[in-house]
């Protein structure tokens, strides 16, 4: 058994079972604090329902199919907005990180737009698109696209210049340098960027469904708030958190499948030698 002090040594790995146990422990502590505050009525049930009431509410909503309906619409909106953003942001970010002419042209404008809150554009989206699904997808797109583009750009810019120099020394063309060095070396960071920004897409769900919605987890939470159904608010928040965790696990599995060498103590490899 390693010494306890080794767990607090920077950048040192710990056993997998310890890592998993720590993750479970924080949820147990959260549940205990929630139970303490709610069952002892330190906080009134109107503001903090007990865990079993939230669980029963979720079960009833699952049985009558209402919760599945809300989940289906919300997942569709988040995935659609995120995919559209990614299809544009990833290639644009790669070009900006590779060619200074693209960076100089796009970065000032994207850097300007990304500080504007997506919620401020909802009235314009309603005027331009209407109150249908397009408006909600547009909010999620707007909330993720600009940050994602700049993050992909930074990942691509951080590809080692030594790899590029070696490729040119071996006689690679500019196209081969891009295809066999820059793109393979930046792909792990791009996938990780997609994982992070997909989590951001979920945070914009409530904003996207706040106006003109009749279904969705965000709509459900807002309606529950209007009628002080606090247990439904908790159900909606917990479901969004669970969906986010599931998507995060999926991205991590994809990452491990695509880049297994990053989990074997190796460094990012490139095809420079085959240029």
Q: pLDDT by residue (tens digit) across 194-251?
A: 999 998 899 888 888 887 788 999 999 989 988 889 999 999 999 999 999 999 999 9
Task: State residue 162 phi and psi, 5-degree precision.
Answer: -65, -40
**Domain ranges for the chain:** 1-43, 49-274
Given a cut of 80, is residue 30 above it in pLDDT? yes
Whether the model clears a pTM of 0.95, i.e. scores above it, the answer is no
pLDDT at 265 over 50: no
How far apart CA 125 and CA 211 sit, in angstroms, is 11
Rg (CA), the chain: 23
Structure tokens at 273: 């030698």
CATH topology of domain 49-274: MetI-like fold (1.10.3720)
pLDDT, one tens digit per residue, over 81-90 is: 999 999 999 9
Instruction: Report in angstroms the alpha-carbon separations of 7 from 65, 132, 171.
Output: 46, 52, 47
Q: List the alpha helices (DSSP H) in the chain.
A: 16-39, 51-63, 66-98, 100-113, 122-129, 133-157, 161-169, 174-177, 183-203, 205-208, 217-226, 230-258
What distance in Å separates the CA atoms of residue 107 and residue 158, rounded to the nearest whole number? Answer: 16
């Amino acid at each position: 058994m390693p010494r306890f002090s080794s767990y607090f040594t920077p950048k040192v790995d710990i056993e997998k079972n310890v890592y998993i146990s720590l993750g479970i422990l924080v949820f147990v502590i959260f549940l205990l604090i929630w139970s303490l505050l709610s069952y002892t009525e330190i906080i009134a049930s109107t503001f903090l329902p007990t865990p079993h009431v939230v669980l029963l509410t979720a079960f009833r909503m699952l049985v009558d199919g209402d919760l599945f309906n809300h989940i289906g619409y919300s997942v569709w909106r988040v995935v659609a907005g995120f995919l559209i953003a990614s299809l544009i942001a990833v290639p644009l970010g790669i070009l900006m990180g590779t060619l200074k002419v693209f960076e100089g042209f796009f970065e000032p404008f994207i850097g300007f737009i990304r500080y504007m809150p997506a919620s401020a554009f909802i009235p314009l989206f309603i005027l331009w698109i209407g109150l249908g699904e397009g408006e909600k997808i547009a909010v999620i797109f707007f909330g993720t696209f600009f940050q994602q583009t700049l993050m992909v750009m930074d990942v691509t810019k951080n590809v080692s210049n030594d790899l590029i120099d070696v490729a040119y020394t071996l006689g690679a063309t500019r196209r081969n340098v891009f295809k066999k060095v820059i793109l393979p070396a930046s792909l792990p960071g791009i996938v990780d960027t997609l994982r992070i920004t997909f989590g951001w897409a979920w945070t914009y769900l409530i904003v996207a469904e706040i106006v003109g919605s009749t279904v969705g987890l965000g709509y459900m939470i807002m309606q529950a708030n209007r009628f002080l159904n606090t247990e439904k608010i908790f159900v909606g928040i917990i479901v969004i958190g669970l969906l986010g965790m599931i998507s995060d696990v999926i991205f991590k599995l994809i990452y491990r499948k695509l880049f297994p060498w990053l989990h074997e103590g190796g460094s990012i490899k490139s095809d420079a030698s085959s240029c």
